[in-house]
Structure 1
Amino acid sequence: MRTGKATATAMAIALAVVLLCIAPRRVRSASDNRLIVGMTLVRNASAIGALCLDGSLPAYHLHRGFGAGEHNWLLQFEGGGWCNDIPSCLERANTRRGSTRYMTKYEVFSGILSNNASLNPDFYNWNRVKLRYCDGASFAGDAKFDNGTSLLYFRGQRIWRAIIHDLLPKGLGRAQKALLSGCSAGGLASFLHCDNFAEYLPRNASVKCLSDAGFFLDERDISLNHTMRSFYDDLVSLQGVEKNLDKNCTSSLVYPAMCFFPQYTLKYITTPFFILNSAYDVYQFHHILVPSSADVHGHWNRCKLDPAACTDSQLEILQGFRNDMLATLRMFYQYSGRGGLFINSCFAHCQSELQETWLAVDSPKVNNKTISEAVGDWYYSRRVSKEIDCPYPCDKTCHNLIPVSGLPQVHLTEEI
């Protein structure tokens, strides 16, 4: 049963709101040593039709590596939801999620993007790049809408290619080590582009990929409807995504659009991969498992605001969602020798870009290992790194649970 367009639009807007954490002009955090990096527009992108939804040029933020990391590269896909119909995409085109005209020209680099050795010991001196997200299909679409009145460019795949070609002569083409990463919709983009990324780099380079909060499940909601499957089906059709999905995956399924779900394409990825996700990912909890269309009377409202307020029956459903996620990942963590995993039980969404969750004195841990340590151990092959948390509420390191509004507060004292 397909959900209505209003629900689909609400889902897209909700995830975009979850990821809004930077003020539009001047940013100053409570930590005075935050790294702030300026935007680079891809000036020649229009030559290949690589344009944001509104026709503006795509962009990225690059902070150069140094020392031993001078020839190593970390690319981080920005997240921010999707749009799957013309009204929601037109709305998105007039925001920072669909146009570089509305984006902040500076981004705070923290967590995995930090240049502080004590806060990001394994990647601090790499070339670190944040790819801005302005297409609405996880950098995977290739289509155009023009009815004579409205014009939309669904060109995520071309944006991905344009940014890569802009970075190759800047040193990416000579990379010795590389990591393709992303958060949320950007984490999904990591699955979609991982093997293609490796094809651009030298054969002797160590190339790996990481998805943070991008393992969106093909799961029925509490009303037994496939809300997310319907949403993705519309998205893939509208934005011309199918031709850019993994060919091995699309040829193996009756419905090729389902290859937009990581669980179906993961087995075809040959590049080493790390999956960082919460078993109770708040976006999936609120919009896949319990979307508003499945909870019209708001019985889950208190539970969504505070897991401690969930009833026994609601907790049982949440534990079932966790079990389904682990069952879907079982082949990956049991048999993938080059794969890494960190599945914790915090009610979170995106944990690699925030210093508080990536690496801090009180950051989340599984088996006494932080996310930063787990990812570093996996990338550098120091030790096996497949960490799976016990079920909620056993993890006592999850004292800062993510509220319904999204990410923990970044305290801003002044606008930039």
Structure 2
Amino acid sequence: MTYELPRRILLLHQRFHILRLEYNTDKNDRQRELGCQHKRITVVFALLQLPQVQESPPFHLKQMIGARASRWFTFLLCLLSWLQTDAFLVGITYVGNAVAKGAVCLDGSPPAYHMDKGFGAGVNNWLVHFEGGGWCNNVSTCLNRKSTRLGSSTKMAKEIEFSGLLSNKEKFNPDFYNWNRIKVRYCDGASFTGDVERVDPATNLHFRGARVWLAIIDDLLAKGMSKAENALLSGCSAGGLTSILHCDNFRSLLPVGTKVKCLADAGYFINVKDVSGTLHIQSVYDEVVTLHGSAKNLPSPCTSTMKPSMCFFPQNVAQGIRTPLFLVNAAYDSWQIKNILAPGIADPHGQWHSCKLDIKQCSSSQLETMQGFRLQFINALSGLGTSSTKGMFINSCYAHCQTEMQETWLRADSPVLGKTPIAKAVGDWYYDRSPFQKIDCPYPCDSSCHNRIFE
């Protein structure tokens, strides 16, 4: 069931010029964690038992008395505090001239991004961050995406929150706060690699991710990125994979004198068997690369020696990347555990259901299997190579995407490795203050983790 905030709180939002929340269509992302007054408060909207709001009914205060009123009051204070300090809203920019180039979303709509301009000493520095959202590997799944924000810019929120590595406040993002910060919306379904000229009139699906990539970069170059002194290509999840696959290409599109590096957050997807013994993710990637015509846009050092779809796996391309690359990843990546190790198709009786929702609910045998996954993940990191230009922050958390949320990027209780939070590790590496290549001890050794709990 979908719940809405009561009307009285919506009026408070309007008064403070906040908030148009964009809810992820994935039910597993209905959780938002808020830090308030030095303590973590996890707000799961379903647990609040909010009343369903109709057209415009009054909100009855008698429904908010006693403990429930106290809960609402705490929630509201934390929400307002969080919104006013950690995050801010940034409007959308549509790249209208991209349509003439065939650079469009799955439904044919123009690509889009959100940009907060740099200031002060950061005015000529650029951070380009790509949104995540999985992939579509057949006509059916792509048609489903076409009617959502992951396939159409007409479905995207006009404003989204910037926090974490996109924050504009020095105390929350000391190394990148005054850069030009861009979040590129994801609407092609293949990590910006597809390019099929023909459009089937029966489906009207456009597989043009590689063209969207170029159209976005061209638009940013025209807006000043052509004069960049520093640039960082980053992304989360499928966007993290984008930053890996396009890393050297990004370098080639910028001036020779620009300092260019790449950051992949939760984008190091590995090729392992699921709990039924099947290479499920490999078959998915086979279908993605074939459907979207991605082969010609994948790193050539890999495609010259391997089947193109195998070059969708970072472990097979990372060592060949010449541009400095940093990985932020949980060794027990929650998305990979749920969709690569124990996807529904491999667990027809739902034995992994509770474990995937909350790692504390895993049985001893399931934890043993997950420890095996961690070892395979660490082994796959050998594909990154040993160059000091490559960095990694691999913690033992049950998490997915840790750079976009303030509480995992840089807060008093953020995840750390060797007492170093993610923001400092990335900043030190980018500015060559010190290298950073650390892998955490096995779960449950790390008390700094913000482990995800799903509905």
Fold-level similarity (TM above 0.5): yes
Q: In percent, how many aligned pairs have the same letter?
A: 52
Runs of 4+ in 1 over 4 A off after TM superposition: 14-23
Cα distance between partner residues in 2 of 1:312 and 1:148: 52
For 2:421, the equivalent position in structure 1 comes to 370
Alignment check: 8 A CA contact 1:16 1:80 kept? no
Give the secondary structure class of the aligned counterpart of 2:411. Answer: coil
For 1:127, the equivalent position in structure 2 comes to 180
Give the secondary structure class of the aligned counterpart of 2:132. Answer: coil
Cα distance between partner residues in 1 of 2:384 and 2:195: 30
Alignment check: 8 A CA contact 2:318 2:383 kept? no
2:315 is aligned, of 263, 266, 271, to: 263
Cα distance between partner residues in 2 of 1:249 and 1:380: 29
Change (3 A) 1:193 1:134: same
Q: Which runs of 5+ in 2 are unaligned?
A: 1-23, 33-44, 46-78
C-alpha distance after superposition, 1:154-204 (max 9, x if no partner) = 111000100111111211001000000000000000011100101111111
Cα distance between partner residues in 1 of 2:399 and 2:25: 13
1:402 aligns with 2:452: yes
Cα distance between partner residues in 2 of 1:105 and 1:20: 19
Give the secondary structure class of the aligned counterpart of 2:126. Answer: strand
For 2:394, the equivalent position in structure 1 comes to 343
Q: Which runs of 5+ in 1 are unaligned?
A: 1-13, 406-416
Higher mean Cα deviation, 340-349 or 308-317? 308-317
For 1:409, the equivalent position in structure 2 comes to none
2:145 is aligned, of 92, 100, 109, to: 92
Alignment check: 8 A CA contact 1:15 1:81 kept? no
For 2:83, the equivalent position in structure 1 comes to 31
Q: 1:234-245 maps to which residues of 2 (within 5 A)? A: 234-245=287-298
Cα distance between partner residues in 1 of 2:313 and 2:384: 15
C-alpha distance after superposition, 1:75-107 (max 9, x if no partner) = 000111111111111111001110010100111
How much has 1:19 moved relative to structure 2? 5.5
C-alpha distance after superposition, 1:44-78 (max 9, x if no partner) = 10121001100101011111101111110000001
Cα distance between partner residues in 1 of 2:236 and 2:394: 15
Cα distance between partner residues in 2 of 1:101 and 1:47: 17
How much has 1:21 moved relative to structure 2? 7.7
Cα distance between partner residues in 1 of 2:305 and 2:29: 34
Q: Quick one: higher RCO (CA 8 Å, sep 6+), 1 or 2?
A: 1
Change (3 A) 1:331 1:183: closer
C-alpha distance after superposition, 1:301-344 (max 9, x if no partner) = 222222222222211111111111111113536x2210110000
1:164 is aligned, of 204, 213, 217, to: 217
Q: 1:280-295 maps to which residues of 2 (within 5 A)? A: 280-295=332-347
Task: Normalising by structure 2, report the TM-score.
Answer: 0.82
Give the secondary structure class of the aligned counterpart of 1:44. Answer: helix
2:280 is aligned, of 227, 230, 244, to: 227
Give the secondary structure class of the aligned counterpart of 1:275. Answer: strand
Change (3 A) 1:375 1:153: same
Cα distance between partner residues in 1 of 2:338 and 2:274: 10
Cα distance between partner residues in 2 of 1:138 and 1:146: 19
Higher mean Cα deviation, 366-375 or 28-37? 28-37
Alignment check: 8 A CA contact 1:145 1:151 kept? no
The amino acid across from 2:364 in the alignment is: D
Task: Normalising by structure 1, report the TM-score.
Answer: 0.89
Cα distance between partner residues in 2 of 1:244 and 1:20: 34
1:309 is aligned, of 361, 367, 370, to: 361
For 2:168, the equivalent position in structure 1 comes to 115
For 1:46, the equivalent position in structure 2 comes to 99
1:279 is aligned, of 331, 337, 340, to: 331
Alignment check: 8 A CA contact 1:16 1:81 kept? no
For 1:358, the equivalent position in structure 2 comes to 409
Cα distance between partner residues in 2 of 1:298 and 1:252: 39
Give the secondary structure class of the aligned counterpart of 2:210. Answer: helix
Q: How many residue pairs are counted as aligned between the two chains?
A: 385
For 1:251, the equivalent position in structure 2 comes to 304
Alignment check: 8 A CA contact 1:282 1:404 kept? no
Tell me the C-alpha RMSD between the 2 structures.
1.8
